[in-house]
């Protein structure tokens, strides 16, 4: 029987989602749509592949607006013990989580989870001006509420969401794209990002280079992605590319050896085998005794292995 975990903040069932990890393993996230919280066992969140992030972002986008605020003190999903607030310094900046002291896992709000991976940045005056010309209303990346009373100017501090108190943030397009273009532990290089990722400037419509543009090369318009749903076009472009990515050593060993049969002379193994054969058949060599014994043992082992494989 499958155990459905309950959110210890709102007592409603959590949605269990299986996501892809870096080397194809499954990483499970439990998501609460009422509280916009994600529970990961142990260090699961850092093991998500680009495709895993695509899946998680799609789940987050599909959640309705958060219907309640998260209490300052929460309990562990597994043992119901009190969670401890921890602050981490990642290579992308500071982040925080509520962690079980017995090591069962941690809870994070949507915004903190995105910030931990460096996918978001705080709103600045240039973003505000860009959003104004686009007539795009921002919404809170944490709770999903539309931002009421969008400030005209920013004076010092970053404005916070009036519903959940989270600083207003936007997706950082280049960082998000780079985080997504990773699978099987490898970063994927896109040769023609303007064509392949097809993200258009919201000022002039020209294609942006999503892997590096923070503003449009043509018109200078700032790239501002002020809501969860703003990342959907990128996810739609990136997902099929990621699915087509093969792991570096996709071929099982048997197939690899069979394919080598036709052109075995090019391999390191073949060169070593020939060299050892020469040493063996000439009877004279310039290596010491120990080297010669090692060569002999290796030679016999490889001969037996080749006989077993191809004989």
Binding site residues, Zn ion, CB under 5 A: 7, 9-10, 32, 34-35, 76, 78-79, 81, 100, 102, 104, 140, 142-143, 145, 161, 163-164, 166, 201, 203-204, 206, 216, 218-219, 221
What is the closest distance, in whole angstroms, from the C-beta atom of residue 182 to Zn ion in the complex? 28
Nearer to Zn ion, 64 or 244 (CB): 64
Nearer to Zn ion, 179 or 216 (CB): 216
Query: CA–CA separation, 74 vs 71, rounded Å?
Result: 7
What is the closest distance, in whole angstroms, from the C-beta atom of residue 144 to Zn ion in the complex? 7
Helices (H), the chain: 50-62, 110-116, 125-134, 173-180, 193-196, 232-243, 253-260, 268-282, 289-310
Nearer to Zn ion, 7 or 97 (CB): 7
What is the closest distance, in whole angstroms, from the C-beta atom of residue 74 to Zn ion in the complex? 9
Query: CA–CA separation, 203 vs 218, rounded Å?
Result: 9
Query: CA–CA separation, 82 vs 229, rounded Å?
Result: 33
Query: CA–CA separation, 123 vs 155, rounded Å?
Result: 12
Nearer to Zn ion, 179 or 208 (CB): 208
Query: CA–CA separation, 177 vs 117, rounded Å?
Result: 12
What is the closest distance, in whole angstroms, from the C-beta atom of residue 101 to Zn ion in the complex? 7
What is the closest distance, in whole angstroms, from the C-beta atom of residue 37 to Zn ion in the complex? 6
Element of type H or E holding 96: strand 93-100
Nearer to Zn ion, 206 or 267 (CB): 206
What are the two backbone dihedrals, phi and then psi, of residue 211, each rounded to the nearest 5 degrees? Answer: -80, -15
CA terminus-to-terminus distance, the chain: 50
What are the two backbone dihedrals, phi and then psi, of residue 83, each rounded to the nearest 5 degrees? Answer: -85, 150
What is the closest distance, in whole angstroms, from the C-beta atom of residue 196 to Zn ion in the complex? 19
What is the closest distance, in whole angstroms, from the C-beta atom of residue 130 to Zn ion in the complex? 10
What pairs with residue 186 in β-bridges? 183
Nearer to Zn ion, 56 or 164 (CB): 164
Nearest to 176 by CA among 216, 214, 217, 143: 214
Buried b (16+ CB within 10 A) or exposed e, 117-137: bbbbbebeeebbebbeeeeee
Nearest to 180 by CA among 9, 48, 6: 48
What is the closest distance, in whole angstroms, from the C-beta atom of residue 53 to Zn ion in the complex? 21
Query: CA–CA separation, 172 vs 140, rounded Å?
Result: 15
Nearer to Zn ion, 13 or 93 (CB): 13
Nearer to Zn ion, 83 or 182 (CB): 83
């Amino acid at each position: 029987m499958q155990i459905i975990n309950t959110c210890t903040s709102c007592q409603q069932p959590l949605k269990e989602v299986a996501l892809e990890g870096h080397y194809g393993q499954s990483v499970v996230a439990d998501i609460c749509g009422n509280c916009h919280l994600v529970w990961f066992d142990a260090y699961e969140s850092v093991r998500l592949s680009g495709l895993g992030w695509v899946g998680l972002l799609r789940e987050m986008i599909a959640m309705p607006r958060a219907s309640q605020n998260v209490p300052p003190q929460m309990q562990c999903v597994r043992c119901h013990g009190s969670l401890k607030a921890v602050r981490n310094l990642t290579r992308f900046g500071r982040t925080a989580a509520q962690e079980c002291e017995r090591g069962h896992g941690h809870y994070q709000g949507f915004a903190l989870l995105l910030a931990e991976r460096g996918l978001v940045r705080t709103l600045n005056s240039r973003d505000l001006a860009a959003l104004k010309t686009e007539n795009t209303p921002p919404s809170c990346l944490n709770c999903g509420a539309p931002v009421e009373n969008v400030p005209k100017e920013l004076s010092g501090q970053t404005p916070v969401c009036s519903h959940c108190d989270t600083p207003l943030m936007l997706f950082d397009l280049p960082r998000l794209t780079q985080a997504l273009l990773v699978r099987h532990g490898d970063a994927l290089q896109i040769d023609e990002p303007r064509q392949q990722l097809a993200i258009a400037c919201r000022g002039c419509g020209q294609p942006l280079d999503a892997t590096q543009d923070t503003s449009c090369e043509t018109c200078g318009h700032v790239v501002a992605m002020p809501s969860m749903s703003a990342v959907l076009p990128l996810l739609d472009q990136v997902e099929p590319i990621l699915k087509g990515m093969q792991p570096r050593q996709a071929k099982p060993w048997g197939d690899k050896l069979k394919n080598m049969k036709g052109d075995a002379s090019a391999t390191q193994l073949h060169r070593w085998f020939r060299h050892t054969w020469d040493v063996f058949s000439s009877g004279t060599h310039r290596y010491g005794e120990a080297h010669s014994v090692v060569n002999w043992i290796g030679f016999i082992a490889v001969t037996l292995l080749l006989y077993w494989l191809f004989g």
